[in-house]
């Protein structure tokens, strides 16, 4: 199975990604995780990415596209789930090209829908636990604006490709997992 998980910051992508990875045995590729690791290790990419991430802005397309190219080239046919990528139309087009060159197709794009106030509430809770630099309230509001302006056009993009499945991301974690499971089981 090859899928994309997308939705606003705080929609529960990371949490549901763990469930999907276990249940469907797919490789979990999170550009946010790769970038945070690079920041921690102070690599060249990390130093560049940090200035964008701290403000809640998107890291330049070519940086994340290169990360995805590298990750996809190591999979040897294993299924995968992209979490937090693509986030712009340029990234989605680049992904389509890489997939085409490797004779691969995405099976489904799962969109987790959560309203803005719930997002802010969830992220404020997460900050108490994980203490992420980009989880302060003003940065979260900016991340929501960035999502609305740059990422939400992907709904149309994937809807036109007949790949989009919108899942209600409000409620208990297990309920949301069940909703995702019902969609993914249809593909098996
Ligand atoms: P996430 O963990 O997915 O919420 O990502 C945290 C931050 O990493 C984002 O706010 C961006 O600054 C950066 N980032 C992660 N994925 C991407 C992407 N696909 N394109 C651009 N920036 C990204």
Clarify whether 143 is annotated catalytic: yes
- Report yes or no: 141 and 116 within 8 Å, Cβ to Cβ: no
pLDDT of residue 181: 97
User: Quick check: 54 pLDDT over 90?
Assistant: yes
Q: What is the mean pLDDT of residues 142-155?
A: 95
Q: Is the CB of 84 inside a 6 Å radius of any atom of ligand 1?
A: yes
Average pLDDT over residues 167-182: 96
The answer to whether the beta carbons of residues 164 and 107 sit under 8 Å apart is: no
Annotation marks residue 126 as catalytic: yes
> Residue 134 pLDDT more than 90?
no
Residue pair 109/6 in contact by the 8 Å Cβ criterion: yes
Q: Among the options 13, 50, 122, 165, which is catalytic? A: 13
Q: Please say whether the beta carbons of 141 and 154 come within 8 A.
A: no
Q: Tens digit of pLDDT for each residue in 119-133?
A: 888 888 888 888 878
Active site residue 36: no
pLDDT value of residue 135: 79
Predicted pLDDT of residue 165: 97
- Whether the upstream peptide bond of residue 86 has omega within 30° of 0, thus cis, is yes
Catalytic residue among 2, 50, 143, 165: 143
């Amino acid at each position: 199975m090859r899928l994309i998980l997308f939705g606003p910051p705080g929609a529960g992508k990371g949490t549901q990604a763990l469930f999907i990875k276990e249940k469907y045995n797919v490789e979990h590729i999170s550009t946010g995780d790769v970038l945070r690791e690079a920041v921690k290790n102070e690599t060249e990419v990390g130093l560049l990415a940090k200035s964008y991430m701290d403000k809640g802005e998107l890291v330049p397309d070519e940086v994340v596209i290169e990360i995805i190219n590298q990750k996809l080239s190591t999979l040897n046919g294993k299924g995968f789930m992209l979490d937090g990528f693509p986030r712009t139309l340029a990234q989605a087009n680049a992904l389509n090209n890489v997939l085409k060159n490797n004779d691969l197709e995405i099976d489904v794009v799962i969109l987790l829908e959560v309203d803005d106030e719930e997002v802010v509430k969830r992220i404020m809770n997460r900050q108490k636990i994980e203490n992420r630099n980009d989880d302060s309230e003003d940065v979260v509001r900016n991340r929501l604006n960035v999502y609305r302006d740059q990422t939400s056009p992907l709904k149309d993009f994937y809807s036109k490709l007949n790949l989009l499945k919108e899942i209600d991301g409000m409620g208990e974690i297990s309920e949301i997992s069940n909703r995702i499971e019902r969609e993914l089981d249809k593909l098996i």
